[in-house]
Structure 1
């Protein structure tokens, strides 16, 4: 089970690292959408569960994982841009299914709002459409620390908030 690896040009602005696990017996293709701080490597066990029933597509956002080295990081991506990237990947791989995790749900919902004609089913897992006060505080502080390149504060923020709940 070796993936076909490619770095795709998206909108002439972004280069996106992809892994395509093609299965001869699969009738459908599924794209997995990462949550925050996750990369294609995060899906190792998920791929094993879905393959060979599905062709499986993994990708790294332009700012993460193996996509990072192929992009200039001049500004943060919006969920709308992430949604457009997902739409192009769904089209490129002719995917009928999409499965998102955590904050990958925001980009997935933006993409699905465009009603991509090929998508038959989608699963949005572990995503809350409501941003409460603690989450807003986390996001605002995170953006501030990241824009100031303050890695120590970013690390402390993650560890003292969502990190308390991670194994």
Structure 2
């Protein structure tokens, strides 16, 4: 299924958007990339959700297919990301949101403002705590990027959070990261500094402000955003649930076929109303 594409002006930016739509779908979902990722990272999600939901993907101004429409220069902070996300939500009226990894923080900031169309949210591979494994990884990545050793930083990603990815995806990761330009690398470092500056109070306030049903999905083998670390969310949220994908690390449905099948079941069960599933069947 080929996407309809659009370039949406938001403030001073131009955002590449991909729309996977079918006439029978009454539900829709917007997906929020993790750090350095592009719309391509949601290929599996599109395949198993498009029959029950319209899917909206986008690239931030410095990344993917948005990059060509935005002049390099200036750093995009979390407030910029949230403003872009909220503008897209206002335009396309998705009924659900799915974020992956560090995209979860911008997603939480947007959800805390209660956008009217969003009724459910999924935060995948996300944690409100920076544990020792994640701190080791982000400090290492920052060091190598600041030293200009991007290839070692790319290898570090594959050796750490991407350790369970198949060889082909590790190769794609390495090629993508090792080709980042100076502006993209500056953006990465700024993003790391923002993440390191957050504290428990920041997360607690955001969690408490999210009123819709929210599902956290983490990989059983993920040492960086562990299932155990995210459970604390239930102390602050009105409606939240938790799922663990067995034998899977940080990249969930990209790691192997069984993880893909499990993620499909988890997401469809949570996001797609029963009547929609019956119609599709």
TM-score by length of 1: 0.86
From the two aligned structures, give the one with the greater helix fraction. Answer: 2
Q: Which runs of 5+ in 2 are unaligned?
A: 167-281
Q: Distance in 1 between matches of 2:86 and 2:78?
A: 12
Q: Do the aligned partners of residues 135 and 122 (structure 1) sit closer, same or farther apart at CA in structure 2, a change above 3 Å counting? A: same
Q: Structure 1 stretches of 5 or more lacking a match?
A: none
**Displacement after TM superposition at 1:89 (Å):** 0.9
- Deviation per residue, 1:2-48 (Å, 9 max, x gap): 21101111122x22111011210011221011122321122222112
> Does residue 35 in structure 1 map to residue 16 in structure 2?
no
Q: 1:15 to 1:32 in 2, by over 3 A?
A: same
Q: Secondary structure, in 3 states, of the residue corresponding to 1:61?
A: coil
Q: 1:71 to 1:24 in 2, by over 3 A?
A: same
- Deviation digits for residues 121-162 of structure 1 (CA, Å, limit 9, x no counterpart): 111111011112442343345345546654234324323432
Aligned to 1:100: 99
CA distance in structure 1 between the partners assigned to 2:115 and 2:156 by the alignment: 37
Instruction: Give the Cα–Cα distance (whole angstroms) in 2 for the partners of residues 160 and 141 of structure 1.
Output: 12
RMSD (Å), alpha carbons: 2.1
Q: 3-state SS of the aligned residue for 2:18?
A: strand
Corresponding position of 2:52: 53
**Which residues in structure 2 correspond to 1:9-158 (within 5 Å)?**
9-12=9-12, 14-143=13-142, 145-146=144-145, 149-158=148-157
| Secondary structure of 1:163 counterpart | coil
Q: Which runs of 4+ in 1 moved over 6 A?
A: none
How far is the alpha carbon of 1:52 from its aligned partner?
2.6
- CA–CA separation in structure 1 for the residues paired with 2:140 and 2:154: 12
CA distance in 1, matches of 2:30, 2:66: 16
Give the direction of change, closer, same or farther, for the CA distance of 1:157–1:76 in structure 2 (3 Å limit): farther
Instruction: Answer 1 or 2: which has greater strand percent.
Output: 1
